[in-house]
Structure 1
């Protein structure tokens, strides 16, 4: 069993964490002051060690000591083992039913992401106040359980607990994840009527919700109504326009933000770089590059990585390489960005050189890097190198290639004109190829004039997607290329027999959301 700081002999001679100069006579008040001091100095481990020493000296802990140490457990990661020990201590000392202790435990389990434990503590709380409800709703909203968060909000209202700004932010966040626009509007209406002068946190959440739901007019309306806009407000509206296909307007808002004298943070700059990437203009790319330098963001690794990606996609691979080479510190994302950029521009050998350099510098490649290198080999016609890269995934790095890696290998072989080898590679795959990979081979066969193999491959595609009308049209066209009109009629008849129509039913989806929660 793992050793816990609670069992550490902190009064051992020579230990810098010694508490031996504190005695039993010092009393709980002095010990509480010590424990709180450790928390204020951001040293939660010493707070836990101090509590262990206090208990061994026979000093009776009160609810305040427990409160401090439970909070300390939530601040060390992972502190689950210590946290559960403190939960047991609270029950043993008779403080388990106190609201203050239960609230602290609830918050601690929320920090750990332990939904079951948090729910259990909550259910055992006899009198639940707004703080406890907010903690529970927040954890469900943040941990990909937005529907449960909304149901918890309804239960809270049913117990006559009035939602506050914190509750509203959590519910709006849940609506954002569900893309539940109408429900979000209802929550907005509640906030307007019941929360006089609600703060920027609520308005920022509403801006993000409306933007994520594609309702930019409402997002902008909330933004315009704000008397005081902070950097989060500006970033939310800029991101909203960018993510809804309006990057030019997002950049215009960024310039308004500059005029308003609000300094952007890392998230804002990353959003603006993303807008420049979407616009694909090298001129705008140079502008944001200069902005980053002038405003002191050139040491931010995340922004530098984004700039490498942007310059690559805007056609300036030389600038991307220059930024990469000037970086004093790099991450795996940095290497991935430059390798992808080189692959995109057809510099297969250069991508391989960077790949080797990356490994020499101690970076372990992941599946995305391997895919980028294989794509680079594919575009550059480096068949041998591409095969070696694919084989090394399993043999040297113990990784299982995904369907994307298999597809990249097929693309590599097809581009090199090795259609027969590509076909044999597909039929020998340990995982079942999808229709997309088969169609890659069919397209290559058609372009390279191997109609016989293309027609053979079509049978595999039709087995996978017997109701897809496009497959029958493709097969019909393959027969027509070689003048096989009987084959064309046979395909048409087969479509009629299977009742396959060229008209596709419009795609639709739905979101099941709870309504009238508040």
Structure 2
């Protein structure tokens, strides 16, 4: 009977492995339930497949917790392999507290579990914690291997910590037997994200072979640092060596064109995307809407938006932003209303774009209503950009008194940019007293900023108070001299 049970367990483990390899986690759980109902023996291989299946399930958190409880009840809590699998599972859920707890409760940790915890923090955008765990690992006399270095290099990329990244590179050269493609790609990505493109390109040139991740890291490095033509040249070179760009590569190219506002290159990239079948991706469609909006082709952006079968909040935001940039304020408001009717809840970015749309189109009433909707109905605390857009909106509408009262009654302290915008609006529309009051408040905020003296001087010249203009210019010269004077310190030593 024992051999019969064991044989069936082995067969079911093979089935579960097949489900895992075919990425059907739901079937893994059904198989596991069936095994338990049949009273079959559950071994560490079974649990390993089931735990990995839970991690792959989008809504697998409650199921994963139940499986973890069963692991403890079955007496597998002392097995490092199982505990490491549970740790990774919680990491995939984004439950870093539970992942850390599993690690802390493991009595005997091996290199794999240390690496798993470092990777969980790095992959979930907690780079400081990843580096802290690695340092604790070293203090415990566990020597980092290639897997550790890859995860910490990723953390350095997120932090843009070039110094720490160089130290890791030096450690890898000294302690690791050669670099595989994964580590080389991680180092290239780190150098590129830190803006050290010469080191990234040198490492790229030293590699014997490249995959799509290698090329994408290098291309995105050029994109992120504003080297448009170098990125495009590398993209063409990538195709010459018959490495097919993936969606991430193309998203980087689209983002680059959007950032640089290059409509010609943007159209070429768009043609490549359509030709190679990337348009079915909602992420790509969102990126293309953003790119065409920023490159001046709002008609194409509207067409892509219209043809989308599935839209996300980013889709609506990109469309509203594009319409706002092109002065189509009323159309942006229509999209904003449609978005809400479809059940999407606007966030602060959406509200900022709607306010900007109202601002560009001179829709003061609609902008005020939008701001009230954001604050009163959605209970959001505005950013300084929201306040700045509202001030600009009120000033353009000629509601200067309202703009001044709005700034004075803001729940947060207005910055200098807002005060300067008010002063220019007051000066242009002849509101002398309001301009004087705003200047006084600006100098209280930034008493030594030379630009404020120039702004005040120009204002006084406009109203022909020439004596005061000379006083302000003299004050500016004194301020500049005081700023140039080096400071000094002294130490008094008793004999």
- Kept in 2: contact 1:495–1:501 (CA 8 A): no
Q: Does 1:75 align with 2:18?
A: no
Number of the residue aligned with 1:188: 169
1:324 matched to 2:305: yes
CA distance in 2, matches of 1:342, 1:262: 37
Q: Please state if 1:37 is matched with 2:15.
A: yes
1:172 aligns to 2:153 (yes or no): yes
* 1:156 counterpart = 2:137: yes
Which residue of structure 1 aligns with residue 491 of structure 2? none
TM-align CA RMSD: 3.4
416, 425, 436: which is aligned to 2:406? 425
Deviations for 1:212-271, whole angstroms, at most 9, x for unmatched residues? 111111100111122221111111101101111211111111111111111111111111
* Structure possessing the higher relative contact order (Cα contacts under 8 Å, 6 or more residues apart): 1
Asked whether the equivalents of residues 45 and 72 of structure 1 are also in contact (C-alpha less than 8 Å), the reply is yes
Partner of 2:195, secondary structure, is coil
Out of 79, 94, 100, which is 1:98 matched to?
A: 79
Cα distance in 2, alignment partners of residues 504 and 310 from structure 1: 48
Aligned partner of residue 426 in structure 1, secondary structure: helix
Q: Match for residue 211 of structure 2?
A: 230
Conserved in 2, the CA contact under 8 Å of 1:308 and 1:321?
Answer: yes
2:293 maps to 312
Kindly provide the CA deviation profile for residues 387-412 of structure 1, in whole angstroms up to 9, marking residues without a partner as x.
22223334555555443323222111
Confirm or deny that 1:444 pairs with 2:422. Answer: no
Cα 1:419–1:32, aligned 2, differ >3 Å: closer, same or farther?
farther
2:452 corresponds, among 454, 471, 481, to: 471
Looking at structure 2, the residues matched to 444 and 500 of structure 1 have their Cα atoms a distance apart, in angstroms, of: 31
Task: Tell me, yes or no, if the aligned pair for 1:32 and 1:64 is still in contact at 8 Å.
Answer: no
Q: List per-residue Cα deviations over 1:4-47 (Å, max 9, x = no partner).
A: xxxxxxxxxxxxxxxxxxx9996365356436634642454565
CA distance in 1 between counterparts of 2:134 and 2:123 reads: 14
1:416 aligns with 2:397: yes
Give me the whole-angstrom Cα distance separating, in 2, the residues matched to 1:464 and 1:33.
Answer: 75
Gapped runs of 5+ residues in structure 1?
A: 1-22, 506-518
2:363 maps to: 382
Q: How does 1:240-259 map to 2 (within 5 A)?
A: 240-259=221-240
Question: For 1:385 and 1:394, how far apart are their aligned partners in 2?
Answer: 14
1:337/1:501 CA distance change after superposition, 3 Å: farther
Aligned to 1:63: 44
Residues of 1 paired with 2:378 and 2:89: CA distance? 38
The answer as to whether partners of 2:16 and 2:46 remain within 8 angstroms in 1 is: no
Q: How does 1:359-398 map to 2 (within 5 A)?
A: 359-394=340-375, 397=378
Deviations 1:404-451 (A, max 9, x none): 323222111111222112112222334443333222212212233323
The structure-2 alpha-carbon separation of the partners of 1:68 and 1:265, relative to structure 1 and needing over 3 Å to count, comes to: closer
Alpha-carbon distance between aligned partners in 1 of 2:100 and 2:393, rounded to the nearest angstrom: 52
Q: CA deviation at 1:130?
A: 2.0
1:291 Cα deviation from its structure 2 partner:
1.8
- Equivalent pairs counted in the alignment come to 483
Distance (Å, rounded) in 1 between the aligned partners of 2:62 and 2:39: 23
Aligned equivalent of 2:111, options 127, 130, 150: 130
Question: Deviation per CA, 1:105-148, whole angstroms, max 9, x where unpaired?
Answer: 32223333343433343344343322112102212323444344
Mapped pair 1:455 → 2:433: no
Q: TM-score, normalised by structure 2?
A: 0.85
Name the residue aligned to 1:343: 324
Q: Tell me the alpha carbon deviations over residues 435-482 of structure 1, each in whole angstroms, 9 at most, x when there is no partner.
A: 332222122122333232112112333343445443344334433432
| Contact 1:39–1:72, Cα closer than 8 Å, also in 2 | no
Cα separation, partners in 2 of 1:258 and 1:72, compared to 1, 3 Å:
closer
1:36–1:68: 8 Å Cα contact kept in structure 2?
no
Could you say which residue in structure 1 is the equivalent of 2:337? 356
Measured at CA, do residues 153 and 398 of structure 1 come closer, stay the same or move farther in structure 2, by a change above 3 Å? closer
Query: Distance between the aligned counterparts of 1:100 and 1:285, measured in 2?
Result: 49
Moved more, 151-160 or 439-448: 151-160
Unaligned residue ranges in structure 2 (runs of 5+): 487-495
Q: Contact between 2:13 and 2:45, CA under 8 Å: does it hold in 1? A: no
**3-state DSSP of counterpart to 2:327:** coil
Q: How many angstroms does 1:82 deviate by?
A: 4.0
- Contact 1:435–1:461 (Cα < 8 Å) also in 2: yes
CA contact (8 A) 1:73 1:83 kept: yes
Give yes or no for the alignment of 1:483 onto 2:464. Answer: yes
- Contact 2:329–2:360, Cα closer than 8 Å, also in 1: yes
- C-alpha distance in 2, partners of 1:407/1:365? 19
Distance between the aligned counterparts of 1:336 and 1:113, measured in 2? 26
Cα offsets for 1:338-375 (capped at 9, x unmatched): 22122112222222233334344444433222221221
- Quote the Cα distance in structure 2 between the aligned partners of 1:467 and 1:186: 41
